[in-house]
Structure 1
Amino acid sequence: MRGAGDEMQIGERIAFYRQRRGYTQSQLAGLVGRSTDWLSKIERGDRQIRRVDLLTDVAAALRVTLGDLMGQPVLLEDDKERDNIPAVRDALMAPGRLSRVLFATTEVPPPDLRQAEQLVEFLWSDYQRGRIAEVVDRLPRLIRTAQQLEDGARDVGDDARRRSWAASARTHHLAATTLSKVGEADLSWIAAERAMKAADEADDPLVLASAARAATHALLAVGRYDDALSLGETAARWLDPQVAAGNPNALSLLGMLHLRTAVAAARRQDRQSAEELLEHAERSAVQLGEDGNYWQTGFGPTNVELHRLSAGLDLGDMAWVARRGENVDVGHLPVERQVTHMIDRARALSYLARDEDALGLLLDAEQAAPALVRHSAVVRETVKTMHKRAPVSAGARSSRLLGLAQRCRAVR
C-alpha cells in the first residue's frame, strides 16, 4: 500500500493526495480548470467524476498515477490463500531478463515447444471463461517457460525459432491482459513490452498485431490515451496486406485494434474519432460476417456493439448506455465479454441512481466470473458509491449490497 486505502472513494483519495502535495482546493481546481465548489463536492463524495480523461488530468496535477486515484489492486492471494501476483512479478522481473549474455546458461533443458504452445492457448481459453484466478495461478510457470523458449531460440531452426518467439509473445500478451484486469497496471505494461519485443522476433504480422493489442490495453490502464491511439493505428496499418487477402485472423485483430483505439479516443473525449474508429471496426465485422473468436478476440458485430456502449460510457451517455445495453444479446460470447458488458451496464445504471438494477447485474456478473468482478477497480468504486447512498433500514444497509462491498474490499 503506497498511500490512500482501498476503502476510500476516489474523492477521498484526491483529498488525501492533494493534502500530501500541499495544495489548497482552490489551487488544485485551478490546475484542472474547474471550480473550487466542484472539487469540494468531488472530495466529499457529493459528486462523481464520470469522465476518465478528467480523472487522468487530476492524477497528472497531483503527480500520481491513475491507479493511485482508482485504488490499489486487491491482491488475488486474498482468495483461497493463493499467492499469485507476487510470483508473476518475480517471473517478469527475474534478473536473467536483463541480459542474456550475463545470465546465459546451458544447464536447463529446453521446454517442449508444442506443449508450451498448447498450454498458452489453454490458458487463453480459461481467461475467456472468466477464470482469472486460475490463469494467474499458472502464469509464473508459463512466463518462465516462455523465457526458456526465448533463450533457446537461437539454437533451433527457423520455424522453431519463430514459433518460440510467437509462444512467448502470446504468453506475455495473456499476462498483460490479465494483469490489467486485476488492476496491476505497472506489471501489465512490463508484460506488454515483453510481448512486443518477442513479437518483433517472431516475424509474423499477426503475432505483432496481437501483441500491440496487449500494449493498447496496458496504455489505457495507465491513462496514456494518445499513445494507445498511436500504437493501435500503426499496428492496424501493418495488417493491411493480410486484411486485403481476406484473412479472418487479420480481420479480427484489425477490428479489435480499432475498438481499443475507439475507447482511447472516447476516454480523451474525442467523440468524432471514437465514432470513426467504431465505424472502421464495424466494417471489419461485416466483412468477417460472424461473431468469431479468431486469436481469442471474440470479435464480430456484437463485440463492436459492446465497445460502442463502452465508449458511450466514457463519453457520459449514461441513459443511452443503460437503455441500449439492455437489448444486446451476449449469451453466445465468451464469459469475459459477457461480464464486462454487465459491469458497463451496472456502472451506467449506478450513475442514474438505479442502484437496485445495478446491484442485480453486478451480482449476476460475480456469479459468472467472481474474480473479474471482485478485483475490478471500477466495480469497487461503483459499489462504494452505491453503499454510501444506500438507505439504512433497522440499523443496517442492504445485506446483498454489503456482502458484495465486502467481497470487493470496498468496505472493511
Structure 2
Amino acid sequence: MRGLGDHLSIGERIAFYRKRRGYTQEVLAGLVGRSTDWLAKIETSRRKPPRIDMLAELSRILRVPLGGLLGQTVLMEDERQQDDVPAVRDALMSPRRLSRLLFGPEAEVQLPTPAPVAVRVEQAWNDYQGGRLGTVIAALPALLQTAQELEERAARRGDDRSDCWAVSARTHHLAATTLEKIGESDISWLAAERAMRAADESDDPLVLASAARSGTHALLANGRYDDALELGNTAAAWLSSRVTENDPAACSLLGMIHLRAAVAAAANGVVWRSNFNAQEWKRALAAAGLIAEVEKGGRYESAREHGMHALRHFYASVLLDAGESIKAVSQYLGHSDPGLTLRVYAHLMPESQARACRAVDAAMRYGKEVLRE
C-alpha cells in the first residue's frame, strides 16, 4: 500500500485523487459547482488553494480524508476498503495463475457455470459506466477468482468452453479498464493481457476485438504509444474482414478501436488533420455506417459535415452547454481572440439570459436576508 508524501501541493493532490477516481476536470468541477478553468488553475497552482469548506467538499466527493488534500501522509485505500487495489493485485498475481499443470485442479472446488457469472460481470460493468469505481474495485477480487475457476472449468470440459473463456475475457477487460482509470497502469496491462489470452481461447471475434481495445487503453496508460497504435490498427484490420453491415455491435466496436488508434497516434505526435481525417476519422464513420465505404485505394466522399471540423464543433457545443466560459472554450479551441469564439458559437448559448436573471435574483435574495439580520 502506497501513500502520498508532503512534497505535493494541495492542487497536485486534488489532481492526483481526481485522476484516481476516474474524474475528468469537467466532471469534478461540475460536482462542486465551479468551472473547469477554475479547477485547472487550482491544480496547477495558478490560483490560491480553495477555502477549507470547498476542500471539505472536494474531499467528500473524492472520498479521501481532508488531511489527504492538506498534506498529511495518508494511504490511498480508505477504511471501508472500497478501493482495495492490493486485493485486485493479489487476485491477478496469484501463483496458481502461472501454471495449471504445476498446481493441478482443486478437486474439492465446485466450479461455477458461465451464465450467472456473466450477469455479475455485467452488473459490475454497469457500476463502471455509472462512475461507481469504488464498487467495481471492491467486486473485482471475487470476480477475478471466479474467472480463474471458469478457465479451470473450460480446461476440464468442452460443452461450454467458449462461454467460460468469453466471460473470463470480459472480467479481465473490466479489470484492465478500471485499473487504468484509477492510475494503476502496471497491473492494468497485466489484466489486459489476461483478457486477450482468454479471448483467444473463446474463438469469438467480438470478444477478442473488445479485449484488444482494453489492451490499447493499457498500453496508452503506460506510455507505449507505438505499441497501442500497432495493436489498434491490427485489431481493426482483423475485425474489418469479419464485420457485416447488419451487425451494429461489431460496427460500433470497430469504430471505437479506430478512435483508440487515433488517440495513440495523437499521443505519439504523428497526427495531422489531413491524414487523421482520411485514415482514422472517416474510416470510423464508415465502420459505424454513417458514410459509404470505399474500395481499396479509393477516397471517401468530400463533405464538410463528415469532416473532423464537425467533431470540433461538437466538442465546443458540449462544453458551452455544460456552462464552460467562452474564454476557456476559446483557449481549448486555439482561437487567438475569444470574440471569434463568441461570434461562431453565440447561438449555442440560449440560456445565458436566464442564467443572468437567476444570478441577479440570487444576489437580491441574499441582500434581503442580510438586511433582515
What corresponds to 2:264 in structure 1?
A: 264
What corresponds to 1:108 in structure 2?
A: 109
Q: 1:351 to 1:133 in 2, by over 3 A?
A: farther
1:166 matches 2:166: yes
What corresponds to 1:85 in structure 2?
A: 85
What corresponds to 1:223 in structure 2?
A: 223
Q: Could you tell me how far apart the structure 1 residues matched to 2:139 and 2:148 are?
A: 15
What is the deviation of 1:250?
1.0
1:281 matches 2:284: yes
Please show how residues 147-162 of structure 1 align to structure 2 within 5 Å.
Answer: 147-158=148-159, 160-162=160-162
Matched residue SS, 2:318 = coil
> Given that residues 209 and 253 in structure 1 are in contact (C-alpha distance below 8 angstroms), is that contact kept between their aligned partners in structure 2?
yes
Matched residue SS, 2:220 = helix
Select which of 287, 295, 317 maps to 1:327: 317
Please show how residues 354-393 of structure 1 align to structure 2 within 5 Å.
Answer: none
Q: Could you tell me how far apart the structure 2 residues matched to 1:285 and 1:6 are?
A: 47
What corresponds to 1:124 in structure 2?
A: 125
What corresponds to 1:248 in structure 2?
A: 248
What is the deviation of 1:154?
1.8
What corresponds to 1:136 in structure 2?
A: 137
Amino acid of the structure 2 residue aligned with 1:228: A
- The Cα RMSD (Å) is 3.9
Q: 1:81 to 1:2 in 2, by over 3 A?
A: closer
> Given that residues 229 and 264 in structure 1 are in contact (C-alpha distance below 8 angstroms), is that contact kept between their aligned partners in structure 2?
yes
What is the deviation of 1:111?
1.2
TM-score normalized with structure 1 length: 0.54
Q: Could you tell me how far apart the structure 2 residues matched to 1:6 and 1:185 are?
A: 22
Q: Could you tell me how far apart the structure 1 residues matched to 2:261 and 2:121 are?
A: 26
Q: 1:10 to 1:191 in 2, by over 3 A?
A: farther
Please show how residues 26-41 of structure 1 align to structure 2 within 5 Å.
Answer: none
What is the deviation of 1:268?
1.2
Matched residue SS, 1:244 = coil
Q: Could you tell me how far apart the structure 2 residues matched to 1:288 and 1:113 are?
A: 38
Q: Could you tell me how far apart the structure 1 residues matched to 2:163 and 2:320 are?
A: 34
Q: 1:8 to 1:197 in 2, by over 3 A?
A: farther
Amino acid of the structure 1 residue aligned with 2:287: S
Deviations 1:5-34, CA, capped at 9 Å, x for gaps: 6725999xxxxxxxxxxxxxxxxxxxxxxx
Deviations 1:123-172, CA, capped at 9 Å, x for gaps: 111111111111111000000000000011122224x1000000000000
Q: Which region of structure 1 is more displaced relative to structure 2, 278-287 or 99-108?
A: 278-287
Matched residue SS, 2:269 = coil
Amino acid of the structure 2 residue aligned with 1:150: E
What is the deviation of 1:330?
12
The percent identity for this pair of structures is 49
Structure scoring higher RCO (CA < 8 A, sep ≥ 6) equals 1
> Given that residues 209 and 235 in structure 2 are in contact (C-alpha distance below 8 angstroms), is that contact kept between their aligned partners in structure 1?
yes
Amino acid of the structure 2 residue aligned with 1:145: T
Task: Extract unaligned runs of 5+ from structure 1.
Answer: 12-43, 47-73, 290-303, 310-320, 332-337, 353-412
Matched residue SS, 2:77 = helix
What corresponds to 2:300 in structure 1?
A: none
> Given that residues 252 and 288 in structure 1 are in contact (C-alpha distance below 8 angstroms), is that contact kept between their aligned partners in structure 2?
no
What is the deviation of 1:235?
0.7
Deviations 1:313-332, CA, capped at 9 Å, x for gaps: xxxxxxxx6x752413999x
> Given that residues 127 and 136 in structure 2 are in contact (C-alpha distance below 8 angstroms), is that contact kept between their aligned partners in structure 1?
yes
Q: Could you tell me how far apart the structure 1 residues matched to 2:288 and 2:227 are?
A: 25
> Given that residues 228 and 264 in structure 2 are in contact (C-alpha distance below 8 angstroms), is that contact kept between their aligned partners in structure 1?
yes
Q: Could you tell me how far apart the structure 2 residues matched to 1:208 and 1:6 are?
A: 43
Task: Extract unaligned runs of 5+ from structure 2.
Answer: 13-43, 47-73, 293-305, 336-373
Q: 1:349 to 1:115 in 2, by over 3 A?
A: same
Q: Could you tell me how far apart the structure 2 residues matched to 1:2 and 1:78 are?
A: 11
Q: Could you tell me how far apart the structure 2 residues matched to 1:7 and 1:168 are?
A: 39
Q: Could you tell me how far apart the structure 1 residues matched to 2:247 and 2:165 are?
A: 22
TM-score normalized with structure 2 length: 0.60
Residue correspondences, number: 256
What is the deviation of 1:102?
1.2
**Greater Rg over alpha carbons, structure:** 2
Amino acid of the structure 1 residue aligned with 2:119: Q
Q: Could you tell me how far apart the structure 1 residues matched to 2:219 and 2:307 are?
A: 22
> Given that residues 76 and 82 in structure 1 are in contact (C-alpha distance below 8 angstroms), is that contact kept between their aligned partners in structure 2?
no
> Given that residues 219 and 225 in structure 2 are in contact (C-alpha distance below 8 angstroms), is that contact kept between their aligned partners in structure 1?
yes
Deviations 1:258-288, CA, capped at 9 Å, x for gaps: 0100001111122235433122112223449
Q: Could you tell me how far apart the structure 1 residues matched to 2:334 and 2:245 are?
A: 44
> Given that residues 165 and 201 in structure 2 are in contact (C-alpha distance below 8 angstroms), is that contact kept between their aligned partners in structure 1?
yes
Q: Could you tell me how far apart the structure 2 residues matched to 1:140 and 1:206 are?
A: 25
What corresponds to 1:98 in structure 2?
A: 98
Matched residue SS, 1:252 = helix
Deviations 1:56-86, CA, capped at 9 Å, x for gaps: xxxxxxxxxxxxxxxxxx9762374435101
Amino acid of the structure 2 residue aligned with 1:280: R
> Given that residues 3 and 75 in structure 2 are in contact (C-alpha distance below 8 angstroms), is that contact kept between their aligned partners in structure 1?
no
